Amino acid sequence: MKYLKAFIAGLALPATFLPAGIFVILFLGKINILEIAPVYILPWIWGIWNVLYFSIGERCPIKNQNLRLWATGATLGFLLALFVVFVKAPALLFGLEECWQYFPLIVMPLVYSIVWRYVVKHLNSLVGL
Confidence of residue 87 (pLDDT cuts 50, 70, 90): confident
Long-range contacts of residues 112-116, Cβ cutoff 8 Å, at least 24 apart: 112/73, 112/74, 112/76, 112/77, 112/78, 112/80, 113/69, 113/70, 113/71, 113/73, 113/74, 113/77, 114/73, 115/13, 115/73, 116/69, 116/70, 116/72, 116/73, 116/74, 116/76
Each domain of the chain, given as residue ranges in start order, spans: 2-126
pTM of the model: 0.83
Write down the mean pLDDT value for the chain.
85
Residue 22 has pLDDT above 70, yes or no: yes
Report the alpha-carbon distance of residue 102 to residue 42 in Å, rounded: 21
Confidence at residue 70, expressed as pLDDT on a 0 to 100 scale: 92
Residue 31 has pLDDT above 80, yes or no: no
Put residue 80 in one of left, alpha, beta given phi > 0 → left and psi -120 to 50 → alpha.
alpha
Q: Which residue has the higher pLDDT, 79 or 97?
A: 79
Confidence at residue 85, expressed as pLDDT on a 0 to 100 scale: 81
Q: What is the mean pLDDT of residues 3-31?
A: 88
